[in-house]
Structure 1
Amino acid sequence: MTKPGPAAPTLAVWAVRLWIASGVLFLASAAWFLIIGIGSANAFGIGLGVVSAGVGVGMLLLTRRTGSGDPRWRSVLAVLSLTVTVLGMLMAALFLDPFLLISGIVGLVGSMMAYRPAAEPWFTRGGVGG
């Protein structure tokens, strides 16, 4: 019988929760963009929905991998969060549509929490899955 490891720091738990919330928000915005795009026969809306769905699924899959003990997964997730936040700012400015911006900011805040000194050792030792 193995002994359970130490409890995850609060910052690490909240980082994972915010990454999951960000992925779910991206999937919800993907559904919204697809419904609007298909309803109005707008190829841009359909494409934006497909890309948003891909980002949402990617965020959820990468969140699962962040606790494996390899800090590169956390870095990949942080870069993805930053990239989609910047693109969300562009979409919000050009089309007055804040869905992607809000989804990206939630993930970006999770990434910032994951790099705090209290959470750092938990992500590098394998806190979530191992």
Structure 2
Amino acid sequence: MATHILQKMAFLRWTCQDVAKWIESLGYPQYTECFTENFITGKKLVFVNCNYLPRLGITDFEHMKAVSAHVRELLGISEPLWSRSIADPPCDDMGMFLKLKSRTLEKADSFTYTQFINNHK
């Protein structure tokens, strides 16, 4: 389990260029500049959702939905319930953990998913 989580979190070390290459690999090369010009790294990718994408310059609704779905898939988080406001979608445990891990503090780098779950109970 721990190895699987560490593999999933490798994206947290991505540079802006790594994120741009990933977006291009998804079939959206037109958005690579949106991510590089806005300095979206792997840690910032945790916060990218349909609410945030227009700020990056992505306004095509179908593309927004697809990119958001790919981000959630990459992060291993479940899709928010759309019966709630899309402006502030709820997070599952993994989403909350990744938001903590996205911080640049040294403590965040060493914080594990197991510690998070034990503290979250």
TM-score by length of 1: 0.34
Specify which structure has the bigger relative contact order, considering alpha-carbon pairs within 8 angstroms and separated by 6 or more residues.
Answer: 1
Structure number with greater Rg is 1
TM-score, length of structure 2 as denominator length: 0.36
